[in-house]
Amino acid sequence: MTVVPQSGGGAVATGSGTGNLYDIVELILDRGLVIDAFVRVSLVGIEILKVDARVVVASVDTYLRFAEACNRLDLEAGRKKPAQLTDIVGEVTEGGARGKAKGALTGAVQAFTDSLQEGRNAEEVPMERPRRATRRREDRED
Amino acid sequence: MSVYVYAITSATHPLRLDGLKGVGDPPGELRTVCTESLCAVISDAPEELRAKRRDVAAHQDVQQRLLGEGTALPMRFGLVGPDDDAVRATLEEHAEHYTQRLGELAGRVEFNLKAAQAEEAALRDVLEQSDEVRRLNEITRAGGTHDDRLALGEMVAQQVEANQQALAGEIVEVLRPIAQAQVISPSLQDAFLNASFLVDKDRAQDFSEVGRKLAERYGEDFEFRLRGPLPPYSFV
């Protein structure tokens, strides 16, 4: 539903409405209760791009691609090391870092209001991939 | 007429379905079939249901509404029974089981977290970790043989996988104490972690907050996609 950029950090997207079904479509299609005696409609011809399980392919092509990607890396370029995982749960519970995360917190509360109280998100929004930091182009084999 | 089944609830659920549309085109009218203790939310099944985005969204919308007002067992998308009587018979037959599940899921919601790492960052980690990878990288940059490149790629692929599994474990361990249960799924094409957590509603905000903190800590090389509160699809 919303993508909240964190200052100097990663992005976390939250929400549960149909605004963005991409990340939950596998739950809707593959989980949930079934009644054995009933039938399930065929999902053949499904227009939704179903997320594929990532297969770590031990293939020559994959290895060569990885090697090439490594060769291309600019090793001199600086990078930020992620901060250590200190006691995040403790911090939250104790409210020690609330001020710092205030902007993000607001977004979260909004999401709860939407889904728990109103329980509907009627707007028709294309089920597209959210913005992402990663795009893998690994070769896949089924 | 065959019927599409959305969810099963206790007979005490308010079942406010106004304004919601069922699956199909035109959308099916939602209605309920109840026994003494349980209700099922259903609609007439469309002649041909092809799981269009609209249909999946309709299914999900019903779940979110039911979740917002009580406890429900969400059905998997696409479940069709012969008629109302068959649904009623199922509710009778499995009453004990459904009631027990509803009790266990009362006041709880699902969160799904997917985490991804930028590939470049994953490769940098591996280069920093391994002398052998750095050596092979230098060799293959300057030329090297096909076998050198294969050896480098294989080593890197395995190490990236190992690192991401460790990261996934680390992340789950941070969230586990706030959750009642979790289902860790195989990694996806675009996410090394794909996990669902069952969380008490009154801890949902904490959970979401910890998710945000995690995203913040891991930094811009990572992407955390946290979805919730969701119907407990993974825990029925």
Question: Is residue B122 located within the same domain as residue B90?
Answer: no
A3/A131 Cα distance (integer angstroms): 8
Chain B: residue whose CA lies nearest to A33: B75
Contact A34 B140 (CB under 8 A): no
Whether the Cβ atoms of residue B58 and residue B100 lie closer than 8 Å to each other: no
Question: Is residue B17 located within the same domain as residue B133?
Answer: no
Whether the Cβ atoms of residue B218 and residue B54 lie closer than 8 Å to each other: no
The pLDDT assigned to A84 comes to 53
Chain-wide mean pLDDT for chain A?
A: 56
Contact A97 B213 (CB under 8 A): yes
pLDDT of residue B74 exceeding 70, the answer is yes
Which positions in chain B touch A85 (Cβ < 8 Å)?
170, 174, 217
Which positions in chain B touch A4 (Cβ < 8 Å)?
212
pLDDT of residue B164 exceeding 80, the answer is yes
B177/B153 Cα distance (integer angstroms): 37
Give the one of B19, B187, B212 whose C-beta lies nearest to A104's C-beta: B212
pLDDT of residue A85 exceeding 60, the answer is no
Angular region, B96: left φ>0, alpha ψ -120 to 50, beta rest = alpha
The pLDDT assigned to B11 comes to 97
The pLDDT assigned to A2 comes to 36
| Boundary (domain end) residue, out of B106, B124, B143 | B106
- Residue A52 is given by DSSP the state P
Lowest mean pLDDT among A109-118, B33-42, B131-140, B144-153: A109-118
Chain-wide mean pLDDT for chain B?
A: 94
Task: Give the mutation candidate from A21, A34, A71, A118 for the B interface (greatest B CB count, under 10 A).
Answer: A71
Give the one of B75, B136, B225 whose C-beta lies nearest to A33's C-beta: B75
Whether the Cβ atoms of residue B28 and residue B46 lie closer than 8 Å to each other: yes
Among residues B113, B228, B92, B57, which one has the least CA distance to residue A115? B228
Q: Which two tokens stand for residue B79?
A: 């479940």
Q: Three-class SS of residue A78?
A: coil
The pLDDT assigned to A51 comes to 45
Whether the Cβ atoms of residue B144 and residue B227 lie closer than 8 Å to each other: no
Which residue in the block uniquely carries the two structure tokens 């930020």? Answer: A80
The pLDDT assigned to A74 comes to 76
Read off the pLDDT of each residue in A104-119 and give the average, rounded to a whole number: 34
Among residues B228, B100, B224, B111, which one has the least CA distance to residue B168? B224
| Boundary (domain end) residue, out of B57, B86, B106 | B106
Q: Which residue has the higher pLDDT, B49 or A133?
A: B49
Q: Which residue has the higher pLDDT, B233 or A135?
A: B233
Question: Is residue B26 located within the same domain as residue B11?
Answer: yes
Q: How many CB pairs under 8 A join A and B?
A: 333
Q: Which residue has the higher pLDDT, B172 or A18?
A: B172
B84 CB near a chain A CB, below 8 Å?
no
Contact B79 A4 (CB under 8 A): no
pLDDT of residue A125 exceeding 50, the answer is no
Q: How far is A30 from chain B (nearest CA, A)?
A: 6
pLDDT of residue A1 exceeding 70, the answer is no
Which positions in chain A touch B213 (Cβ < 8 Å)?
88, 91-92, 97, 101
The pLDDT assigned to B196 comes to 97
Question: Is residue B24 located within the same domain as residue B134?
Answer: no
Question: Is residue B54 located within the same domain as residue B79?
Answer: yes
Read off the pLDDT of each residue in A67-88 and give the average, rounded to a whole number: 69
Give the one of A8, A92, A136 whose C-beta lies nearest to B119's C-beta: A136
Q: How confident is the model at residue A89 (pLDDT cuts 50, 70, 90)?
A: low
β pairing state of B31-34 and B72-74: unpaired
The pLDDT assigned to A132 comes to 42
Question: Is residue B83 located within the same domain as residue B146?
Answer: no
Q: How confident is the model at residue A23 (pLDDT cuts 50, 70, 90)?
A: confident
Read off the pLDDT of each residue in B34-46 and give the average, rounded to a whole number: 96
Q: Tell me: the pLDDT tens digits for B176-191? A: 999 999 999 888 878 9
Question: Is residue B222 located within the same domain as residue B165?
Answer: yes
**What residue spans of A12-77 are helical by DSSP H?**
25-30, 60-72
The pLDDT assigned to A14 comes to 52
pLDDT of residue A96 exceeding 70, the answer is no
Q: Which two tokens stand for residue A36?
A: 């054995």
Which positions in chain B touch A66 (Cβ < 8 Å)?
123, 152-153, 156-157, 160
Question: Is residue B38 located within the same domain as residue B142?
Answer: no
Question: Is residue B165 located within the same domain as residue B214?
Answer: yes
ipTM over 0.85: yes
Full domain range(s) for residue B174: 109-235
Give the one of B66, B215, B229 whose C-beta lies nearest to A112's C-beta: B229
Lowest mean pLDDT among A60-74, A105-119, B23-37: A105-119
Contact B153 A64 (CB under 8 A): yes
Which residue in the block uniquely carries the two structure tokens 């227009």? Answer: A47
Number of domains, chain B: 2
Question: Is residue B73 located within the same domain as residue B167?
Answer: no
Q: How confident is the model at residue B87 (pLDDT cuts 50, 70, 90)?
A: very high
- Residue A66 is given by DSSP the state H
The pLDDT assigned to B168 comes to 96
**Using CB atoms and an 8 Å cut-off, which of residues 105-144 of chain B contact chain A?**
110, 112, 114, 116-121, 123-124, 126-127, 133, 136-137, 140-141
Return all residues near A85 (Cβ < 8 A) that are at least 6 apart.
B170, B174, B217
A35/A44 Cα distance (integer angstroms): 20
Q: How far is B90 from chain A (nearest CA, A)?
A: 8
Q: How confident is the model at residue A115 (pLDDT cuts 50, 70, 90)?
A: very low
Question: Is residue B135 located within the same domain as residue B26?
Answer: no
Question: Is residue B54 located within the same domain as residue B125?
Answer: no
Give the one of B140, B161, B219 whose C-beta lies nearest to A9's C-beta: B219
| Boundary (domain end) residue, out of B106, B140, B173 | B106
- Residue B82 is given by DSSP the state S
Q: Tell me: the pLDDT tens digits for B113-124? A: 999 999 999 999
Task: Give the mutation candidate from A14, A84, A140 for the B interface (greatest B CB count, under 10 A).
Answer: A14
B170 CB near a chain A CB, below 8 Å?
yes
pLDDT of residue B195 exceeding 70, the answer is yes
Q: Tell me: the pLDDT tens digits for B197-229? A: 999 999 999 999 999 999 999 999 999 999 999
